Amino acid sequence: MDITHLLPAQDFERIKNHILSKGERETYCNKYNNNPHYRFNTFDAFLNPEIGQQNINCDTTLSDFNEIVIRDRNAEPQYYHILFLKKGNLKNVRIARDLLLVTEGKVYLLSDDNHPVIDMENKVRYYIDVMLLSI
pLDDT digits (tens), the chain, 135 positions: 999 999 999 999 999 999 999 999 999 999 999 999 999 999 999 999 999 899 999 999 999 999 999 999 999 999 999 999 988 766 655 554 455 567 889 999 988 778 888 889 989 999 999 999 999
Q: At residue 5, what are phi and psi to the nearest 5 degrees?
A: -65, -25
The pair phi, psi for residue 34, each rounded to 5°, is: 60, 45
- Per-residue model confidence (pLDDT) at position 103: 82
Closest CA to 63 of 89, 41, 81: 89
Q: What is the distance of C-alpha 132 from the center of its chain?
A: 14
Predicted pLDDT at 100:
53
The Cα–Cα gap between 130 and 128 comes to 5
Residue type, 109: L
CA dihedral (12, 91, 27, 59) positive or negative:
negative
Task: Provide the pLDDT for residue 119.
Answer: 85
pLDDT value, residue 91: 61
